[in-house]
Structure 1
Amino acid sequence: MDGQEIIDTVRFISQFHRARGSDEYKLLLERLKELLLSWGIEERQIETIEYSTGGVRYGNFDSTMVWNVKDAELWLEKPRTFLSSFKNCKTSVLFGSHSTNGWRTLELVDETYTGDLRDKAVLVQMNPSKAFKQFVEERGAKCLLVYFMRAQDESIGRTPAQMPDTVNYLSLPHTLKASQHKSFGFSLTYRQYELLKSLTNKNFKVRLFVDASLNVGTLQVLRVRFEGALKKRIGIVAHLCHPNPGANDNASGSALALHLCRELKQKTLGFGVDVILLPEFYGSLPYASQNNDYEFVINLDMVGEDQQKTGSTMMLHETPPLLNTIYDELLYDSMMLFAPTSSDSFSRRFYRSTFKSGSDHSVFENYAVPSPFLGQWPDRYYHTNEDTPDKCDPEMFEWVGKAVLRTVELAPSLPDYIVEQALGRVRSFLKKIVGKPGSDIIESVVKRAHGEKIEPVEPKLHIFPAAEGPLGYEWFDKAGELSEKREIVNLGEVIQLAARYTQDYDATVTFASTYLNVDAKTTQDVIDLLLKNEFLRRIN
């Protein structure tokens, strides 16, 4: 595979502002189909699947409205000073902003202001979802001016002080219900935030407009199908959504998946392969609910980083052993085989890790599909306007591409040493839980997932997820002090998986706490919270 050619495709994809279901997203799909056809992929192999969005709930996720944005500008009124515009920076407009229906001039206030917010621009430094709840839903504000940087990490230069002119990609809630508030806003640089903060509550005003629309509609999944000699199929998944530029997140995974199509066309396959480009979560949820017969799925999300520029490390996040982990072992072996080297040592950072939430593999795993996840983390430019193609490394694409192809080719006839290594890791995990509550149930589930013909062990205190798919993020608003705990988001998702496959309270506590090396008390507290708020249910 030619890594530079893949970067060229990243450049092409990153031109598009890829809001789920938007006109620009659909135009990109048309152009990608043209590209695939030019490579000799037959039209009958390419399918666009549509799902409803806006006013529809998929599992624990309320689907979002289709957002089309044409233009927006933000100025300080006096002295008249340009701050930002959509034409200048696509991440400057909060995703999901409603149209202002022309220019608006609003007084600039901050979160300490106690008066009526309906005709104010509220300056905040917090997660926009929390700001929406606090100032839009509860106090009637329409306009939010936000500075918020996720995943700050001084060691890679990712803090407000180290990136004062970066514009973060941020979203307003824009479900059907949330869109009724007709809110809008802008994402600021830290330097702009500091300027405006000095002017709040002093009768200064901003002048702005947003030209956008929010509508019920459809979102699209692009699937490219390759037949194999056997009935079983493998999925290769990458999410295509996110704003311009979104090069590593995730034009990189999408571009690599497309170029894998080019390679798969030339091969005689044992298992069939589906290459699937979709909107993250909101596309994978309805898709996986109808297409969950894959032998396994490989998720490609943020695979292209130039590690010197981004501070990233390539990670293979494993499938939890509640499902078959043998294909994870094959993918790891392939990654090690093709790892870039220099002077007889690895020239790129690479680690293997337990399950991590936050991407589409977690959807498929909740439908009993093993789903190893390849991606890089952390990333200095994650969810910012500086996530551009010059931060990609061609050697990364070649490395991952070769590893995925080898995994696909060897999967129908697994080497004995791969099976032995995978089962050895499973035995090691089972030794950790010996004598703990629910260990007999866990042992039964894990061994059955790895092919042993044994009888299931009946749960003693039945619990089960209330919805299909992953746990999601709504529960986090109710977590209180638990939200500050280590591994809390990953813990929630592993609890969801453990409850789904063991269906037992004690087994869920033991599996999740042991697998993630989190104390059992914290795990119990999260489970009890999920039961109280009906994300999990007791079964009589």
Structure 2
Amino acid sequence: MKTKILFALLLAGLTSYAQNTTDNYFKLTRSGFNAKNALETTAFVEKFFRVPGNAGFNASIYRVEKILKKAGFVLQKENELEAPLTYRIEKRPLKSNTWEPVNASITIAGETAPLISFKTNRNMIPINCGSTPKGGVTVEVVFVDKVTPSEIEKLDIKGKIIFAESHPARLLALATKAGAIGVLGYSMPKYTQPKVHQTSIQFGSMKANSEVWTLLLSYSAKERLKAACAKGLTKIKVDIETKIYPSQELTIVANLQGSVKPKERFVFSAHVQEPGANDNASGVGTLAEMARLTAELYKAKKIMPQRTLTFLWGDEITSTRRYITEDTARAKDIMWGMSLDMVGEDTKKTGGSFLIEKMPDPSAIWTRGEDKHTEWGAGEVAEKDLFPHYFNDFVFDICKTQGKFANWTVNYNPFEGGSDHTPFLQNKIPGLLMWHFTDVFYHTDNDRIDKVSPIEMKNIGISALTAAYTLISADENTASKTVTQIKSDALTRLKTEFELSKQAIAAGKEVANEKHILEVWCKWYVDALATVNQMPVKAETTRVGSAIKFAVNEIEKQTKLYLLELK
């Protein structure tokens, strides 16, 4: 009897370990993630021009609620501990009115077809733009070549429309002072290739409650109107209809409670606002399917999370920052954060690549070799801002595993900021961004559902969930394996940096500076390895601690050898 009990306990332990392995989570997520579901939600959300509080934003939130309820999440009444699967919708009055576009068109006088219209270019109306009188206005448009106060003061534009190759928001104050009734502008970054994609307009905004309206033009519309103005006096009919009204800001939060340390958690965030399909309807759709699958696996007892897994949808940065800062007790137990932003790109159409934006490591300061920033641009990172943690390499290696399995291209970029990973990092919480860039349709009205790949969303959903499932139930075996992985990644990185420094010295760079780069990388990885001690749910880290010491010794030893060779 005693032998049978011991055998049963041993078998239970082995079964538990098998369930907690990354390989097992990959099997569950690969077979369970429904790309069709993710695409259908994305298609629903992308129909709307989404601004916090407007009808499209709120419809998107309630669409997610419907998915959560059907999956088995129950509405939270008092607190998150009421049930294993809970959700809540947080409602807050907006300080300012919300806004939504309805319709717009510009027609050159004497022509029947519009120069541009809302039906084809919904980004032509900047956020906060008001309406024209019903039926529109027909007035003279004045092209301004040099946009300076002195040049505009020379022109008679009272009661007319200013047109310039500049963002209209920059002209608003000048136009108002000069008595213009409206502004037409054009502003497209080079990476959007406007001469190729001539109908694209990036969405923008303008000062609220302005007496002067503004509109944005595509490259083709700008060129046509510019040519018309060059021929002489040109009149255009402009018709704009928008809605501006008081509303509430909605955020939806869902939780799968951990069974051992429910206060400790992994938080996923996907922002709802912005009018694009990839940006960020794809994040909303992917995260909704991730939550649905999580509930399904939990109810089938295929996952048994020991820490809490949180899913959040709301206003970019604002909702995530508030989630972290409004409850300091909760914030101190957030162990990881991940932003899903622009995660559905059909890269053959957009030109972008899937990227993991790393937490600040030395590549954000010394960007060289295969490291490179995107067209978004580098952030200002100093050595004091570096954030050593295993999370960078842990998630990247999981994505590489999925990439190898699915023939999926996985890349990374040094830290740049600008999405929902930033509030985590600002509050000393490990945070990563999953995204795509550079995208020729970024922020444009050509970012529509035809540019979205359900396969891409599936690969990202699988990778993100597998990483989260592994971490929220991590044991000593997981941590020990991670130490080995981080050590290997560190030695690979140090070898790369050593070769780059040798080349730099040969090209005339100072030896001391090149040695310093290697020393900073060494320290970053040594400090990152120390954080693995926090990974296991149960603090039985003797074996992990020994593995860390061994790994640190190897890294420091190899760094010293490299430093001796740099002359």
Give the structure 2 partner of residue 159 of structure 1. 193
Q: Alpha-carbon deviation of 1:347?
A: 3.6
Q: 1:281 aligns with which of 304, 311, 317?
A: 317
* Higher-Rg member (1/2): 2
Could you tell me the percent identity over the aligned residues? 20
Give the structure 1 partner of residue 228 of structure 2. 199
Q: 1:207 is aligned with what amino acid?
A: K
User: Within the alignment, does 1:331 sit opposite 2:395 as a pair?
Assistant: yes
Give the structure 2 partner of residue 498 of structure 1. none
Please give the alpha-carbon distance, in whole angstroms, between the structure 2 residues aligned to 1:136 and 1:271: 56
Give the structure 2 partner of residue 307 of structure 1. 347
Q: Alpha-carbon deviation of 1:407?
A: 0.8
Q: Alpha-carbon deviation of 1:434?
A: 9.2
Please give the alpha-carbon distance, in whole angstroms, between the structure 2 residues aligned to 1:221 and 1:348: 32
Give the structure 1 partner of residue 251 of structure 2. 221
Give the structure 2 partner of residue 189 of structure 1. 218
Q: 2:137 aligns with which of 97, 104, 112?
A: 104
Give the structure 1 partner of residue 482 of structure 2. 418
Give the structure 2 partner of residue 518 of structure 1. none
- Structure 1, unaligned stretches of length 5 or more? 56-64, 454-540
User: Within the alignment, does 1:69 sit opposite 2:129 as a pair?
Assistant: no
* SS state at 1:373 partner: strand
Note the alpha carbon deviations across 1:20-71, whole angstroms, 9 max, x for none.
221221122223212321222222322122345446xxxxxxxxx5112333
Please give the alpha-carbon distance, in whole angstroms, between the structure 1 residues aligned to 2:176 and 2:483: 53
Q: 1:271 is aligned with what amino acid?
A: R
Q: Alpha-carbon deviation of 1:381?
A: 1.8
Please give the alpha-carbon distance, in whole angstroms, between the structure 1 residues aligned to 2:172 and 2:426: 30
Answer yes or no: is the 8 Å Cα contact 2:188–2:201 preserved in 1. yes
Give the structure 1 partner of residue 372 of structure 2. none
Change beyond 3 A, Cα 1:448–1:334: closer
* SS state at 2:248 partner: strand
Q: Alpha-carbon deviation of 1:302?
A: 0.9
Q: 1:228 is aligned with what amino acid?
A: G
Change beyond 3 A, Cα 1:422–1:278: farther
Give the structure 2 partner of residue 119 of structure 1. 159
Q: 1:289 is aligned with what amino acid?
A: T
TM-score normalised by the chain length of structure 1: 0.71
Q: 2:183 is aligned with what amino acid?
A: L
Change beyond 3 A, Cα 1:88–1:397: closer
Answer yes or no: is the 8 Å Cα contact 1:324–1:370 preserved in 2. no
Please give the alpha-carbon distance, in whole angstroms, between the structure 1 residues aligned to 2:59 and 2:344: 24
Change beyond 3 A, Cα 1:23–1:189: same
Greater mean deviation of Cα atoms: 111-120 or 27-36 = 111-120
The number of equivalent residue pairs is 425
Give the structure 1 partner of residue 378 of structure 2. none
Please give the alpha-carbon distance, in whole angstroms, between the structure 1 residues aligned to 2:244 and 2:422: 28
Please give the alpha-carbon distance, in whole angstroms, between the structure 2 residues aligned to 1:7 and 1:349: 20
Change beyond 3 A, Cα 1:98–1:421: same
Give the structure 2 partner of residue 381 of structure 1. 441
Q: Alpha-carbon deviation of 1:401?
A: 1.2
Q: Alpha-carbon deviation of 1:214?
A: 3.5
Give the structure 1 partner of residue 42 of structure 2. 10
Please give the alpha-carbon distance, in whole angstroms, between the structure 2 residues aligned to 1:196 and 1:350: 43
Q: Alpha-carbon deviation of 1:106?
A: 2.7
Q: 2:286 is aligned with what amino acid?
A: L
Q: 1:187 is aligned with what amino acid?
A: L
Change beyond 3 A, Cα 1:347–1:145: farther
Please give the alpha-carbon distance, in whole angstroms, between the structure 1 residues aligned to 2:336 and 2:466: 14
Change beyond 3 A, Cα 1:87–1:390: closer
Give the structure 2 partner of residue 406 of structure 1. 466
Give the structure 1 partner of residue 553 of structure 2. none
Q: Alpha-carbon deviation of 1:324?
A: 4.8
Note the alpha carbon deviations across 1:231-258, whole angstroms, 9 max, x for none.
2011111111112xx1111111110100
Q: Alpha-carbon deviation of 1:275?
A: 0.7
Answer yes or no: is the 8 Å Cα contact 2:168–2:215 preserved in 1. no
Please give the alpha-carbon distance, in whole angstroms, between the structure 1 residues aligned to 2:446 and 2:400: 30
* SS state at 2:114 partner: strand
Greater mean deviation of Cα atoms: 23-32 or 372-381 = 23-32
Superposed CA RMSD in Å reads: 3.2
Give the structure 1 partner of residue 183 of structure 2. 144
Note the alpha carbon deviations across 1:288-323, whole angstroms, 9 max, x for none.
332534111111111111111211111111112533
Please give the alpha-carbon distance, in whole angstroms, between the structure 2 residues aligned to 1:138 and 1:450: 60
Answer yes or no: is the 8 Å Cα contact 1:54–1:215 preserved in 2. no
Please give the alpha-carbon distance, in whole angstroms, between the structure 2 residues aligned to 1:118 and 1:326: 61
Answer yes or no: is the 8 Å Cα contact 1:318–1:325 preserved in 2. no
Q: 2:279 aligns with which of 249, 253, 256?
A: 249
- Structure 2, unaligned stretches of length 5 or more? 1-32, 77-85, 146-151, 299-303, 362-385, 502-512, 534-567
Please give the alpha-carbon distance, in whole angstroms, between the structure 1 residues aligned to 2:229 and 2:529: 59
TM-score normalised by the chain length of structure 2: 0.68
Q: Alpha-carbon deviation of 1:286?
A: 3.2
Give the structure 1 partner of residue 358 of structure 2. 318
* SS state at 1:249 partner: coil
Please give the alpha-carbon distance, in whole angstroms, between the structure 2 residues aligned to 1:182 and 1:389: 35
Please give the alpha-carbon distance, in whole angstroms, between the structure 1 residues aligned to 2:265 and 2:249: 24
Greater mean deviation of Cα atoms: 379-388 or 215-224 = 215-224
Answer yes or no: is the 8 Å Cα contact 1:270–1:409 preserved in 2. no
Give the structure 1 partner of residue 409 of structure 2. 349
| Larger proportion of helix | 2
Answer yes or no: is the 8 Å Cα contact 2:38–2:286 preserved in 1. yes
Change beyond 3 A, Cα 1:121–1:170: farther
Please give the alpha-carbon distance, in whole angstroms, between the structure 2 residues aligned to 1:319 and 1:332: 11
* SS state at 2:228 partner: coil
Q: Alpha-carbon deviation of 1:142?
A: 4.3
Change beyond 3 A, Cα 1:50–1:364: farther
Note the alpha carbon deviations across 1:369-406, whole angstroms, 9 max, x for none.
21111111111222222212222222212211111111
Please give the alpha-carbon distance, in whole angstroms, between the structure 1 residues aligned to 2:108 and 2:456: 43
Please give the alpha-carbon distance, in whole angstroms, between the structure 1 residues aligned to 2:242 and 2:398: 46
Change beyond 3 A, Cα 1:75–1:282: farther
Q: Alpha-carbon deviation of 1:87?
A: 4.0
Give the structure 1 partner of residue 65 of structure 2. 33
* SS state at 1:283 partner: helix
Give the structure 2 partner of residue 523 of structure 1. none
User: Within the alignment, does 1:46 sit opposite 2:46 as a pair?
Assistant: no
Q: Alpha-carbon deviation of 1:123?
A: 1.8
Change beyond 3 A, Cα 1:330–1:445: closer
Please give the alpha-carbon distance, in whole angstroms, between the structure 1 residues aligned to 2:420 and 2:168: 23
* SS state at 1:395 partner: helix
Q: Alpha-carbon deviation of 1:422?
A: 3.8
Answer yes or no: is the 8 Å Cα contact 2:128–2:209 preserved in 1. no
Answer yes or no: is the 8 Å Cα contact 2:272–2:281 preserved in 1. yes
Q: Alpha-carbon deviation of 1:210?
A: 1.9
Greater mean deviation of Cα atoms: 13-22 or 319-328 = 319-328
Change beyond 3 A, Cα 1:217–1:137: farther
Note the alpha carbon deviations across 1:141-193, whole angstroms, 9 max, x for none.
4422222223x23xxxx4222112x23132123xxxx3242332322221111
Please give the alpha-carbon distance, in whole angstroms, between the structure 2 residues aligned to 1:324 and 1:42: 38
Q: Alpha-carbon deviation of 1:281?
A: 2.9
